[in-house]
Structure 1
Amino acid sequence: MQYNTVITGTGSFIPSLVKTNRDFAAHDFYDEQQNHINQPPALVAQKFQQITGIEERRYASCELNSSDLALNAAREAIRDSGVDPETIDQIIVAHNFGNVVKHTIQTDLVPSIASRVKHGLDIRNSACVPYDILFGCPGWLQGLIQADAFIKAGVAKKCLVIGTETLSRVIDAYDRDSMIFSDGAGACVVEALPKNGSNQGVLASSVLNHSNEEAYFLYMGKSNFPGSDTRVRYLKMQGRKVFEYAMKHVPSAMKACLDKCGIDISEVKKIFLHQANEKMDEGFTRELFKLYGHKTIPPHIMPMSIHKLGNSSVATIPTLFDLVRKGELPDQELHAGDVILFASVGAGMNINAVCYRI
């Protein structure tokens, strides 16, 4: 029997601590050469918002770690799907830093985040395999691609795929790029459902990697603050190079995914993009439509959460999808039979895309 890979439930956990751009007005910012940026911090934050579209972001409270966020999102996805947790074959958790306990400088990855989620769900089934993947911001989408491969290979029938991150624990407060990042978690349950003439579920995927001069566009480096302890490392980004790389490669990866399943862009109802930069995402969509010879973009085709939630890395797409799927974003809704496109880009540098029919 042939099966479709179908998302039967989604969940998300959005931390309660709101950090607005006004909160950065008292910060001192320094550049990569540790020179003080001689502009009022409020002006720096204002320019940041104009470039990225981010007005505010969410940070996890001190007592919560990435595994806690993941567990909360997982529970919601399981409730939404109605599956028995004991029947889950794979727990795939995408993240980049594991648990970084507040006010510490170490990453805690033993046991894995996925094992902690399985423990938190009290799953006793020893055949349920939990594991983590590190794939930069496209990690959750890569987890979905892997779950689809396992299902179509007959290895698994039910998978729990989670993206979770607490980037607020690894950012340099003196680096203006730090204002981009946030915390959150999103999850989905995917199941193998008999085709029986249905074309619901994952239709195709595409994955790219460029790890030559692009490999260190995102990296861990010292603080921008002069005299800081060089042994303590923070998440750093060559923003301009990331932007240029993404604009060059992401639209073509999205088209390659659509071409694999013979879907024209005119059939796509929604495009769910990694929420990293509003202008970049708008650029992806514009360039994708140009590849098909279209000059105009349909309204409401690109849901956005970046304005209020910031860039929570692997959590941005599953969180956004959960919000739209449950009717929690204005002017955004999904209907049975809709074709949607997921796409993400991030550290590595990695790009992936998935075409999916609701």
Structure 2
Amino acid sequence: MSVVRSAVTGVGSFLPEQVVTNADLAMIVDTSDSWIQERTGIKQRHRARDDQPTSDLATEAARRALADAGRSAADVDLIIVATTTPDMTFPSVASIVQRKLGAPTCIAFDVQAVCSGFVYALSIADGFVARGQAKCALVIGAEEMTRLMDWTDRSTCVLFGDGAGCVVVEPREGQGTKADQGLLGFALRCDGTKTDLLYVDGGPATTGTVGHLRMAGNQVFRHAVVNIAEAITAACAASGIEVADVDWFVPHQANQRIIKGVGDRLGLDEDKVISTVAIHANTSAASIPLALDSAIQDGRIKRGDLVLLEAMGGGLTWGACAFRL
């Protein structure tokens, strides 16, 4: 019996031109390259220009993903942008991307689940595409996290960067097995009692300001390793696969220690883990599609490979997804 799957048919990403090294940060805050690398694995990050809003990064990533899929803006009928750093309170970044791409009138909206946003957005796109409500969807993770930094707080300002990644999602027929091309299964979670572990201390309905990012790093680390592993196990079960079946693990690029901790807990071979945190830092919702595109571009991830995604962010939100490229 055939089923309709939502398949990733194109991938693209974009990074702002400016690169900020650890040495650059050491000039403005009490830190050092060795201190940052030892604790996070980060060597550098990208930073958007003042006149370069999140929608610019998202639009360029979308153009590249459409080209990779052999599609044009005229084909797009759904745009979902995962972001916690929108251009404005409203309208959505997705609606601005629609205009900048020159896409036709279509469904367009943003998703706010912080670092987990891309996995959440992908699951929503699956609901539209697999059920025939969209035939060419753009799922974009785009962030300018440097806009939220307190540059006197060395525990947070060294961790984050800017960037965008996009996948094109289209329907493909399958047999309803784990061999199908497409999205196979998800596990999404949120624990709102942990909001004080990772948040921004501002907003339009409270302070009327953007605010700065605040994080209890050690507690987030402990929750991340345990909770992400559980979500991964659940997503694999929903997909009818075992962790051992996975060809590539593409985690949220928060911290090399978290990536290693999750991999070790699941017994994953380090050679199967895609890590770009050293050169991208934590780009929140953009980190998974940025890492995915990087591994596809360098030839590691290929068509037919079984890929596992995971993320955890403010909320606390977390989740995982398995798909065959």
TM beyond 0.5: yes
Cα distance in 2 for residues equivalent to 1:2 and 1:164? 31
Deviation per CA, 1:92-141: give whole Å up to 9, x if none.
Answer: 00100212xxxxxxxx1332100000000112x32x11101101101111
Cα distance in 2 for residues equivalent to 1:196 and 1:351? 29
Q: 1:211 to 1:321 in 2, by over 3 A?
A: same
Deviation per CA, 1:13-49: give whole Å up to 9, x if none.
Answer: 0111111111122224xxxxxxxxxxxx244x52222
Q: 1:156 to 1:134 in 2, by over 3 A?
A: same
State the partner residue of 2:241: 263
Matched, 1:316 2:287: yes
Q: 1:129 aligns with which of 107, 110, 121?
A: 107
State the partner residue of 1:343: 310
Which is higher, the Rg of structure 1 or of structure 2?
A: 1
How many matched pairs?
317
Matched, 1:301 2:272: yes
Instruction: Give the CA deviation at 1:200.
Output: 0.8
TM-score (norm 2): 0.93
TM-score (norm 1): 0.84
Deviation per CA, 1:74-106: give whole Å up to 9, x if none.
Answer: 11111111123223221000100212xxxxxxx
Deviation per CA, 1:308-330: give whole Å up to 9, x if none.
Answer: 11111111100110111121xxx
Matched, 1:110 2:90: yes
Q: 2:220 aligns with which of 235, 242, 246?
A: 242
Matched, 1:54 2:42: yes
Q: 1:306 to 1:173 in 2, by over 3 A?
A: same
Is the 1:221–1:234 Cα contact (8 Å) retained in structure 2?
A: yes
Cα distance in 1 for residues equivalent to 2:288 and 2:210? 30
Matched, 1:97 2:98: no
Matched letter for residue 166 of structure 2: A
Instruction: Give the CA deviation at 1:158.
Output: 1.7
State the partner residue of 1:120: 100
Cα distance in 2 for residues equivalent to 1:79 and 1:211? 39
**Is the helix fraction higher in 1 or 2?**
2
Matched letter for residue 274 of structure 1: H
State the partner residue of 1:293: none
Matched, 1:254 2:232: yes
Give the unaligned 5+ runs of structure 2. Answer: none
Deviation per CA, 1:171-219: give whole Å up to 9, x if none.
Answer: 000001111010000001000112268611111110111111x122111
Is the 2:150–2:157 Cα contact (8 Å) retained in structure 1?
A: yes
Is the 2:115–2:314 Cα contact (8 Å) retained in structure 1?
A: yes
Cα distance in 1 for residues equivalent to 2:109 and 2:127? 15
State the partner residue of 1:35: none
Cα distance in 1 for residues equivalent to 2:324 and 2:66? 21
Matched letter for residue 262 of structure 2: F
State the partner residue of 2:62: 74
Cα distance in 2 for residues equivalent to 1:85 and 1:27? 42
Matched letter for residue 115 of structure 1: S
Q: Which deviates more from structure 2 when the two are superposed, residues 302-311 or residues 81-90?
A: 81-90
State the partner residue of 1:284: 262
Q: Percent identity?
A: 32
Cα distance in 2 for residues equivalent to 1:145 and 1:319? 18
Matched letter for residue 185 of structure 2: A
